[in-house]
Amino acid sequence: MANQDTVERAKYEPLRERAEPVSEALETMPYGLYIIGSHNEADEVNAMMADWLMQVSFKPRLVACAFENDATTLKNIRATGVFSVNVIPDDRMQMVAAFAQPQDASKIKGRSEEASARVYDKLRDVPHSRGEQTGCPILDDALAWLECQAEQFFPAGDHTLVVARVLGGAVLREGEPLTQRALGWSYGG
Ligand SMILES: Cc1cc2nc3c(=O)[nH]c(=O)nc-3n(C[C@H](O)[C@H](O)[C@H](O)COP(=O)(O)O)c2cc1C
């Protein structure tokens, strides 16, 4: 028979679950995990973590990725029209964490003036080359990479959906790709 404790829990847990059911439902959706490389017009490189990326056409080969409106990466893509996609092997989980940090530290609200003024060179200690067609960073440790040319920009709330043509790509090694779920960080909800 249910004791008082169980009754109390039964009464309150559904309320707690209803607090953000849509967010919870969205968070169950699985995604890949990619490092998007870009550069600005001064040829300074940047890279960011993204999981809202997928292929959207065979002919031509198109991918789409949703970028936060204030991401430096989006600014770079608008300026140069190009980006790279790095698929990360699941044994390189440690190296990806730094790419969730914005290049422009002021993007994160509430930081001190000094902390906000920082500009992170996220690729400084990460071995990489530059894509032949786009000049965008290709990580030495990537499982596979793509070079992409942006074709369409769709405003999508607090993000911008960029549809891009795949110009080239290759698989660099055998292995399993890292996923957002395996990383254990949630972006969605
Ligand atoms: C697991 C995970 C997935 C993410 N996916 C995306 C994404 O798909 N699109 C996006 O704009 N930001 C995404 N982010 C946030 C960016 O990595 C973050 O805003 C980054 O600082 C942007 O870098 P930038 O301003 O140097 O371009 C994700 C973060 C995490 C932790």
CA distance 58 to 60: 5
Residue 140 included in any domain: yes
Q: What is the pLDDT of residue 3?
A: 53
Element (H, E) at 9: helix 4-18
Q: Based on the structure, what is the number of domains in the chain?
A: 1
Q: Is residue 143 part of a domain?
A: yes
* CATH number of domain containing 90: 2.30.110.10
Q: What is residue 2's predicted lDDT score, i.e. its pLDDT?
A: 45
Distance, CA of 7 to CA of 12 (rounded, Å): 9
Please tell me the predicted confidence (pLDDT) of residue 1: 44
Q: What is the pLDDT of residue 151?
A: 98
Dihedral sign computed on CA atoms, order 126, 180, 34, 91: positive
Q: Please indicate, yes or no, if residue 177 is contained in any of the structural domains.
A: yes
Which residue puts its alpha carbon closest to atom 10 of ligand 1? 67
The pLDDT, as a whole number, for residue 115 is: 79
Is position 9 within any domain? no
Point out the ligand 1 atom lying closest to the alpha carbon of residue 73.
27
Name the nearest CA neighbour of 48 among 66, 38, 36.
36
Ligand 1 pocket mutation pick from 27, 68, 116 by most atoms within 8 angstroms of CB: 68
Alpha carbon of 104 to ligand 1 centroid (Å): 12
> Has residue 70 been placed in a domain?
yes
Would residue 68 count as lying in a domain? yes
Residue ranges of the chain with pLDDT lower than 50? 1-2, 12, 15
**Structural domain contains residue 189:** no
- pTM beyond cutoff 0.85: yes
Pocket test of ligand 1: the residue of 38, 39, 48 to mutate, having most ligand atoms within 8 Å of its CB, is: 48
Q: Distance from the CA of 167 to the center of ligand 1, in angstroms?
A: 23
The domain containing residue 38 runs over which residues?
Answer: 22-183
| pLDDT value of position 104 | 87
Residue nearest ligand 1's atom 11 by CA: 67
CA of 42 to the centre of ligand 1 (A): 22
CA of 17 to the centre of ligand 1 (A): 27
CA distance 40 to 74: 10
User: With contact defined as beta carbons under 8 Å apart, do 163 and 151 qualify?
Assistant: yes
Assess if residue 5 is contained within a domain: no
Residues with CB under 6 A from ligand 1: 46, 48-52, 66-68, 71-73, 100-104, 107, 180, 183, 185, 187
| β-pairing verdict for 159-171 and 144-156 | antiparallel
